[in-house]
Chains A and B, each alone.
Chain A
Amino acid sequence: MIALQRVSKSFDGGVSFAVREVSLEVPERSFLAVVGESGSGKTTLLKLINRLIEPDAGSVSIAGQSAKSLPPHALRRRIGYVFQGIGLFPHMSIAENIGITPRLIGWPEAQIRARVGELLDLVALPRSYLTRRPAELSGGQRQRVGIARALAARPAIMLMDEPFGALDPVTRDTLGAEYRRLHDDMRLTTVMVTHDVMEAVLLADRIVVMRTGNIAADGPPHELLTASDDPAVRTLMEMPRRQAERVRALLQERTARG
């Protein structure tokens, strides 16, 4: 379980807060989506978990242990991290990219090789890609490698920051669905930041809405879709429903005419 307790972070010495006294618990094997406008603090919240950003106040604990009990690099080796920029290492082959965390930990080479092959199968890339360079891959293929790299050292937790944001809609939909299956099969705990409410609704078990560094709403998708006290949250959450209704209406019109 990931637990944040009254965590705050300011980038300007306390004048304004990217995250302000946020407390949040993410149970094991749950899939949490964090949504909100740009600047609402959702990416900062995510990075506080694997200490890419250190909090000014409050504490973060993972599986009951303080995140500070390990050096940051050791903590990060146990947590998968996928982000929109992907950040594949251009001077390494696909196999080297995927195997990087196990190699840092010091797995035997044979075990790394076997794991890399297994992961390519898992993210549905042909084994012939092992020796290719990232530059030779399409955007969707690269993010598949990014996910494989994050999963390589068998982390229990995955942090994803707009993981499918730069992909075309079809790839995005496919990859999202495939990842959700991996999440279930591998019994992962996933925290995914996205600005796409539809994506959050379709993939997550639970949605947290961030606004100016605070949690504005927190609940299962169907609950937030139907009822919220906060008018802004309601507007935000109504969007996917309105879109879905418009699509349905269009389809019915076609059927009626036809």
Chain B
Amino acid sequence: MDERLASALHLLPEYLSQHVLLSAAALGLGVAISLPLTVAASRHAGIRWPVLGVASVIQTVPGLALLALFYPLLLGLSSLCRHFLGFGFPALGFLPSLLALTLYSMLPILRNGVTAIVGLDPAIIQAARGVGMTPGQRLWRVELPLAAPMIMAGVRTAAVWVIGTATLATPVGQTSLGNYIFSGLQVENWVSVLFGCGAAVALAIVTDQLLALVELGVARRRPRFAWLGLGLLLAGVAAAGAVPLAAGGRAGYVVGAKNFSEQYILAALIADRIRGTGYEAAERADLGSTIAFRALAANELDVYVDYSGTLWTNILGRTDAVPRAQMLRDVKEELRRRYGVQLLGPLGFENAYALAMRSDRAAALGIRTIADLARLAPRLTLGGDLEFFARPEWRLLQARYGLAFHARREYQPTFMYRALMSGEVDVITAFSSDGRIAADHLTVLEDPLHAIPPYDAVLLLSPRRAADPVLRRALSPLVGAIPIGLMRQANLQVDRTSDKFTPAQAARWLTAAAHLPEQ
């Protein structure tokens, strides 16, 4: 079988079960909140429009943004909570995803329910009062049974939305079928992207059909259908719940990865080494840059690879330039002091931000350094990845060299290289360890003013695992063991368009090529 398909199938139980549990919890919570709100909104016109209005506005917020917004919100609440009550809660992963998806699920249920109840034949309501029903009896015996088919139709719509949107939980640290899509997109593994889409679609269709069975049972008053549909749905959720229970037998380590190939490869490598010691290791990939560090500091991750310059500017908030070795020392010291995070050591290569051009174009324009570039920049277009223009490095570059481009565009890294090769942009923000620099014959512009800080790849351990003997035994051999040439080759194996490796394959290749010791 195709290695990419095999690896996708191997990940399916974990991704699918997480996706099912998240969607089911969000839908369940959404229904539990929406139903009382529906009743209240159908009773009182005064709260009907505010409730439906707010639900509609929430629906217009892009799904990814809604999920992302819960992270700072929960982070703030958590620190308040820790301050006043003495305990915090995770701001990443399941909780923000659950809350965002719950909000997302509410509109169809609310709108259908309110429409159904308000639209009931007035004669029936008058009769219900006339035969002597209390308001509660009217609700349970007449209004809800008659509105139930419409409410169920709303629940079906909500379920399909939630299952689709749950793929966006991946970047906030919640494993879902979106992991296939996000990491597949990153390394141009279209098998993985399609597999993720297909799995999400299949899950949505199956859920929708089972809910249709429940709806049919409710509408035709055939309780057997309703119970059958509900039973199968609950069985699915229970099965999904059993997967992590079955896997969680041994104490496991969680390895984090940001959202690019090198990170996937290194996470796979780290996980392999941990497994080599006989312990379980799970990978949590596609995390945003600072999200990964916060998760580590909060012990939600046990280990991941970050870069000294990133930590220096983004986490420690430093803007001064210091020599490479001193930066490593200072970062290590400060991380331990402020967060209790242990910097185990550098891996041996740098992955710095760099400005790169096609060699032919650079030669034609006579550009060798960023200083050369600055003179011609007003005629050129710069392509950056999605976070570069928000990063301090960009401000440093602008300030030191007085860079002002004709235009700038943002891309997923994969498409950024495409845009450079096709001439859509003249300059890109490359990573110095990227295999495509060699493969695409790019010229990396020199930085004579040292505006860009050094970016040594470093192993970070969470406060809880700072002195963990297993991690130390497994990971200490990696310190200083991976030269830039090998990392570039491994990255290229994953990024190239033909004969692609999966990150796991590249990690195995790297293990062998770097002569890492057996355990």
Chain A interface residues (CB < 8 Å from chain B)? 50, 52, 71-78, 81, 83, 85-91, 100-101, 104-105, 149-150, 153
On whether the beta carbons of B127 and A86 are closer than 8 Å, the reply is yes
Interfacial chain B residues near A101, Cβ < 8 Å: 131-132
- Between-chain CB contacts (< 8 Å), 9 pairs: A73-B129, A76-B132, A81-B131, A83-B127, A85-B122, A87-B124, A87-B127, A88-B127, A100-B141
Interfacial chain B residues near A153, Cβ < 8 Å: 132
Closest A-chain residue to B127, C-beta based? A87
Interfacial chain B residues near A91, Cβ < 8 Å: 142, 145-146, 221
Residues A76 and B134 in contact in the complex (CB < 8 Å), given A85-B122, A91-B146, A91-B221: no
> Does chain A have a CB within 8 A of B517?
no
Closest B-chain residue to A74, C-beta based? B132
On whether the beta carbons of A104 and B137 are closer than 8 Å, the reply is yes
Residues A104 and B124 in contact in the complex (CB < 8 Å), given A89-B142, A91-B145: no
On whether the beta carbons of B130 and A86 are closer than 8 Å, the reply is no
Measured between alpha carbons, how far is A147 from B287 in the docked complex, in Å?
A: 68
On whether the beta carbons of A90 and B146 are closer than 8 Å, the reply is yes
Closest B-chain residue to A77, C-beta based? B132
Closest B-chain residue to A82, C-beta based? B130
Which interface residue of B132, B142, B146 has the most chain A CB atoms within 10 A?
Answer: B132
Interfacial chain B residues near A105, Cβ < 8 Å: 132
B226 to chain A, nearest CB (A): 14
Measured between alpha carbons, how far is A146 from B123 in the docked complex, in Å?
A: 12
On whether the beta carbons of A83 and B126 are closer than 8 Å, the reply is yes
Interfacial chain A residues near B145, Cβ < 8 Å: 91
Interfacial chain B residues near A74, Cβ < 8 Å: 132
> Does chain A have a CB within 8 A of B121?
yes
> Does chain A have a CB within 8 A of B238?
no
- Interface residue total, chain B, C-beta cutoff 8 A: 20
Which interface residue of B129, B131, B221 has the most chain A CB atoms within 10 A?
Answer: B131
Closest B-chain residue to A86, C-beta based? B123
> Does chain A have a CB within 8 A of B235?
no
Closest B-chain residue to A84, C-beta based? B123
A133 to chain B, nearest CB (A): 9
Name B131's contact: one of A72, A76, A90 (CB within 8 Å). A76
On whether the beta carbons of B121 and A87 are closer than 8 Å, the reply is yes
Interfacial chain B residues near A100, Cβ < 8 Å: 131, 141
On whether the beta carbons of A104 and B130 are closer than 8 Å, the reply is no
Measured between alpha carbons, how far is A91 from B147 in the docked complex, in Å?
A: 11
> Does chain A have a CB within 8 A of B206?
no
> Does chain A have a CB within 8 A of B513?
no
A79 to chain B, nearest CB (A): 8
Name B126's contact: one of A77, A78, A85, A104 (CB within 8 Å). A85
Closest A-chain residue to B129, C-beta based? A52
On whether the beta carbons of B133 and A73 are closer than 8 Å, the reply is yes
Interfacial chain B residues near A90, Cβ < 8 Å: 124, 146
A67 to chain B, nearest CB (A): 14
A45 to chain B, nearest CB (A): 16
List 14 additional contacts besides A85-B126, A86-B127, A89-B142; criterion CB under 8 Å: A52-B126, A52-B130, A71-B134, A73-B129, A73-B134, A77-B132, A81-B127, A83-B123, A87-B121, A87-B126, A89-B128, A90-B124, A100-B141, A104-B137
Measured between alpha carbons, how far is A104 from B141 in the docked complex, in Å?
A: 10
Closest B-chain residue to A101, C-beta based? B131
On whether the beta carbons of B221 and A104 are closer than 8 Å, the reply is no
Which interface residue of B130, B142, B145 has the most chain A CB atoms within 10 A?
Answer: B130
Closest A-chain residue to B221, C-beta based? A91
B35 to chain A, nearest CB (A): 18
Measured between alpha carbons, how far is A100 from B126 in the docked complex, in Å?
A: 14
Interfacial chain B residues near A50, Cβ < 8 Å: 130
Closest A-chain residue to B124, C-beta based? A87
On whether the beta carbons of A89 and B127 are closer than 8 Å, the reply is yes
A135 to chain B, nearest CB (A): 12
Measured between alpha carbons, how far is A60 from B126 in the docked complex, in Å?
A: 20
On whether the beta carbons of B127 and A85 are closer than 8 Å, the reply is yes
On whether the beta carbons of A104 and B127 are closer than 8 Å, the reply is no
On whether the beta carbons of A76 and B127 are closer than 8 Å, the reply is no
Closest A-chain residue to B136, C-beta based? A73
Measured between alpha carbons, how far is A75 from B134 in the docked complex, in Å?
A: 11
A31 to chain B, nearest CB (A): 20
Interfacial chain B residues near A78, Cβ < 8 Å: 132
Closest A-chain residue to B135, C-beta based? A73
Which interface residue of A52, A104, A149 has the most chain B CB atoms within 10 A?
Answer: A104
Which interface residue of A73, A83, A90 has the most chain B CB atoms within 10 A?
Answer: A73
Interfacial chain A residues near B130, Cβ < 8 Å: 50, 52, 76, 81, 83, 87
